[in-house]
Chains A and B, each alone.
Chain A
Amino acid sequence: MKVATKKELFDCLSGMKVFAPVGKNLRFAEVSSADEIASPESIPLSPKEAFVPQDETLFFYDNPEDPTSIVEPEIDEKPFVVWGMHPCDAKAMELIGKVYTEGSYTDGYFVRRYNASVKVVIGCPVPHPGCFCGSFEGMGPFSKSGSDIFLIPLDDERFLVEGTTEKGENLIASLPDATDEDIAKGEAQKKKGEDAIDRSVPTENIENSMQALFDSEEFWEDIYHRCMGCGMCTYVCPSCYCFDIQDERIGNKYRRYRVWDSCQFGLFTLEASGHNPRPTQKERIRQRMMHKLSFFKLRYGDEHLCVGCGRCVAICPVGIDIRDVAKRAEALAK
C-alpha cells in the first residue's frame, strides 16, 4: 500500500494522456497537470465518454459510390489514464465490455480503449445523492473491481494508493509506502462509506419481479405520466451503451460514425414504415427500467445493468427514481 498526493500520483503517470473530470460540468477530458483535476464529491456526468465517446468515427470514405475507398480511423493504442472514476463506474465499464465482446462480434473500438486504459478509481467515503451501489451483490463504495489503481482519500491532500493490477502496481512502484497510521485512516474512511451506503434497494431477484409487472398499468403509471422523454438519464448513466449509426459529409470527406442514442427518444425504435413498437413514453421508460433491472441480467448472466451510481436519480428533473421503481416492484410482486 502506497501513499501520495494528487501531484505525486500524477507524476507517476507521466508520459500518458490523463482524462479526468474538469471544467464547468466536470466532464472527463484530457488534462495536462494535476492542478486542473477537480476533486468533486460527485461527478454528474460519467467517465464512460473516455471509453465510449459520444461521437466516434467508424470509418471514413472519399467517394460514396466507391465502397473500396473506406479507410478506418487511425487508432491510438498508447496507454492512457482515466482518473477519478468511482467503483460504480469501473463496474459499469466491465458491463459494457460484456456487450462489446459478446458472441462472434467484438467491438474493437471499445476493446482497445479499455485495454489501453489505466483506470484510477477513487473510493467514496461519503455517498453521493441517489447512490445505492451497496445494494448490488459484490459491489460497494470501496469495490476494487475493474480498477488498475485504487485510491482512498485520506484528507484533502493525500490518498492511500493501491495497485490492483500488475499494470497499476508497476506504475506506482516509486511512491512511498503508507504508514500504519495511514492504513488505519484508510480503513476508517472505508468503514465510513460502507456504513453510509444505501443497501436497501432490492436487487437480488428484481429481474423476475420486473418481468411479472411488465404489463401492470398500476406499476408503470406512477412514473410514465411525468417522464418528459429527454435522454438525460441515459446520457449520464455509466452503463447505458446504446448508440445510433449515421453517415455524414465533412468537406470533401465522408464518414460513418456512431453517437450515443437513448431509448427515451421516440426515434429510437421508429421504423421506416411509420410503425413504432414503443409509441409513447410508457413503453420507453419501461424499456429503460427493464433493461437496467431485468433484461440485462436475463441475457448476460449474473449482473444487472445498473451499478447504483445514482446519477439518473439525482439529475432527473421530474423525479423518476430507479431505487423507488425497484422497491415498488419488489413490494407489488410479493
Chain B
Amino acid sequence: MIEKIREIAKNWLAEGKVDVVIGFGEGTTPFSAKPIFITKPDDVEKLIWNPLCRLNLAGYVRREILAGRKVGVVAKGCDSRSIGILLAEKQFDRKDVSIIGVPCQGMVDRKTLMKKFGNVDGEKVSADWNSISVGDKSISTEEVLSNACRICRYPTPVHYDELVGEKIEGVSIEEHDKPAVEMLEKNREDRWKFYTEHFGRCIRCYACRQACPTCYCDECFVDSNDPKWLEKGQHPTDLMLWNLGRIYHQVGRCVECGSCESVCPMDIPFTEILAGMSKRVRELYDYESGIAVDEPPPLQTFKTDDPQEFIM
C-alpha cells in the first residue's frame, strides 16, 4: 500500500500537479509518526503508512493552499471529511487539493501505548495493523485503537483523486452512537460532574484547537482581548467556557477525527462529547459533516422549516 502511495506522490510532484505532498514520516520517538511535507519527488521514500499516522492533516492542507501552494495529501477517511467541510465552508477550491485517499483500519492512541509499554528507549518498536510490539512484548493494534476510530463511520475517504487499497466499511449508526447515548443518558448532575472533572484539568495549551482542522478562526474567541469573553487564568468557569465554547463552535462541523483527544496532554475525553453532538446534528438536520461539499453546515445556514423544538 505504501508503495502505491509513494508512487502517486512521486508522479504528482514530478508532473507539477502539486507543489507539496503532506503525509506522515517516521518520528524520532517510539510510537510516533510525524507529519511531513514532501516537495522533491525523490523524498517520497520518507512517506510511511501505519497505525501511528494519527493526526488529521486537513488543517495543514488549508494553510498550505492559503500560502499559494498546490497541495497533495495522504488522507484517511477523517482527513477527507475535514477537507469536505473546509470545502463546504469555501476555504479553498476542490481543484487546489489532490487527495491520495487511503482507507483506514483505525489509528492507535499513542498515549495509551506509552502507558502500556512504559519506558521503551532503545528497544525495537514496531507497529502494524495487527500488532504493536516492543522487544518481545506485543499487543494487538485493536486493543489500543483511539476512541474516535472505534466509532468511525467513514474509514474510507469520502473525497479523493486516487484511492489506494480496498474500501473499508464504517460502523453502523447504532454502534457509533453508543458512547453518545451513554453520555446523553447521564442525568444533569452526572453530566455536569463529567464536564467539571475533565475540563477542570485543562491547562489551556490549546493543542486541541491547534490540532483541529475546523478551528481556523483568525482570532479565536479565547484570544480576543476586546471584548474579553473569558479570562486567561485557571478559574473553573473559564476552563469550562473555553472547552464548551470551542466545542459549540464545532457543531455540525466536527468530523470526529479524534485529533483533539489524541493530542490533549490532560486526557480530556472529547470523543464522548463530540459524538453526542454529531448524533444530535444528524437527527435534527439529517447532516453528517464533511460528506456533501456543496452543503454548508446546518448552523451556518437558515431554512424556514429548520427544527425549532430545542429552542426554549
Interface residues of A (CB under 8 A from B): 24-25, 27, 41-42, 44-45, 54-55, 126-131, 196, 198, 225-226, 228-232, 234-236, 244, 246, 248, 250, 257, 259-260, 262, 265-267, 313-315, 317-321, 323-324
- Bound-state CA distance A230–B220 (Å) is 13
Is B156's CB within 8 Å of the partner chain A?
no
List 21 A-B pairs, Cβ < 8 Å: A25-B201, A54-B234, A128-B121, A129-B120, A129-B121, A196-B121, A196-B122, A226-B36, A226-B37, A230-B206, A231-B205, A232-B205, A235-B203, A236-B265, A250-B235, A266-B223, A313-B29, A314-B114, A317-B263, A318-B35, A319-B33
Q: Which of A42, A54, A226, A266 contacts B119 (CB 8 A)?
A: A42
Instruction: Say whether A317 contacts B207, CB under 8 Å.
Output: yes
* A231→B206 contact, CB < 8 A: yes
* Closest Cβ neighbor of A313 among chain B residues: B29
Given contacts A25-B265, A25-B266, A319-B29, contact A54 B232 (CB under 8 A): no
CA distance in complex: A41, B115 (Å): 10
The residues of A that contact B262 with a CB separation of less than 8 Å are: 317
A231's nearest neighbour on chain B, judged by CB, is: B205
Q: B234 near A318 (CB under 8 angstroms)? A: no
Per DSSP, chain A at the interface is loop
Q: Which one of B35, B204, B234, B235 contacts A226 once the chains associate, using CB atoms below 8 Å?
A: B35
Residues of B with Cβ closer than 8 Å to A?
Answer: 27-30, 32-37, 54-55, 59-60, 114, 118-122, 201, 203-207, 209-211, 223, 231-235, 262-263, 265-267
- Smallest distance from the beta carbon of B43 to chain A beta carbons, Å? 12
Smallest CB-CB separation from B230: which chain A residue? A248
CB-CB under 8 A from A232, the residues of chain B are 205, 207, 263, 265
Q: Within 8 Å CB of A44, what residues of B?
A: 265
B265 in contact with A257 (CB, 8 Å):
no
Nearest CB in chain B: distance from A188 CB, A: 18
Q: Closest CB of chain A to B64's CB: distance in Å?
A: 8
Q: Which residues of B contact A266 (CB under 8 A)?
A: 223
Chain B residues in 8 Å Cβ range of A54 = 203, 233-234
Q: Which residue of A lies closest to B266 (CB)?
A: A25
Chain A residues in 8 Å Cβ range of B32:
319
Given the known inter-chain contacts A127-B119, A226-B60, A315-B265, please indicate yes or no for A323 contacting B206, CB distance below 8 A: no
- Is the pair B207, A231 in contact by a Cβ cutoff of 8 Å? yes
With contacts A25-B201, A25-B265, A246-B233 taken as known, whether A318 is within 8 angstroms of B119 at the C-beta atoms is no
Name which residue of chain B comes closest to A225, CB basis.
B37
Bound state CA distance, A323 and B55, in angstroms?
A: 22
Closest to B30 in A: A129
CA distance A157 to B253 in the complex (A): 51
By Cβ-Cβ distance, the 4 closest A-B pairs, closest first, are A319-B34, A230-B207, A55-B234, A319-B27
Q: Specify the chain B residue showing the minimal Cβ separation from A228.
A: B210
Contact A323–B233 (Cβ < 8 Å): no
* Chain A residue, CB-CB nearest to B32: A319
Q: Which residues of A contact B266 (CB under 8 A)?
A: 24-25
Query: Across the interface, do B121 and A131 meet the contact criterion of CB distance under 8 Å?
Result: yes
- Report whether B210 and A41 are in contact in the complex, using a CB–CB cutoff of 8 Å: no
Question: Which residues of chain A are within 8 angstroms of B234 by Cβ–Cβ distance?
Answer: 54-55, 259
Q: Provide the bound-state CA to CA distance between A70 and B204, in Å.
A: 28
CA distance A126 to B223 in the complex (A): 41
Residues of B near A246 (CB, < 8 A) are 231-233
Task: Give the residue name and chain of the A residue nearest to B110 (CB).
Answer: A317
Contact between chains at B34 and A45 (CB < 8 Å): no
Assembled-state Cα–Cα distance A129/B118 (Å): 9
A43 to chain B minimum Cβ distance, whole angstroms, is: 12
Q: Return the contact of B233 from the options A129, A131, A198, A248 (Cβ within 8 A).
A: A248
Question: A residues within 8 A CB of B59?
Answer: 228
Contact A265 B206 (CB under 8 A): yes
Complex Cα–Cα for A262 and B223 (A): 13
Which residues does chain B contribute within 8 Å of A324, judged by CB atoms?
28
Closest residue to A245 on the B side, CB-wise?
Answer: B232
Select which of B114, B201, B235 is within 8 A of A129 by beta carbon. B114
In the complex, what residue of chain A is closest to B24 when comparing beta carbons?
A319
User: Distance (Å) between the CB of A186 and the closest chain B CB?
Assistant: 20
Determine the residue in chain A with the shortest Cβ distance to B27.
Answer: A319
Q: Find chain A residues with CB under 8 A from B120 CB.
A: 129
A324 to B36, CA, bound (A): 15
Tell me which residues across on chain A come within 8 A of B210, comparing CB atoms. Answer: 228-230
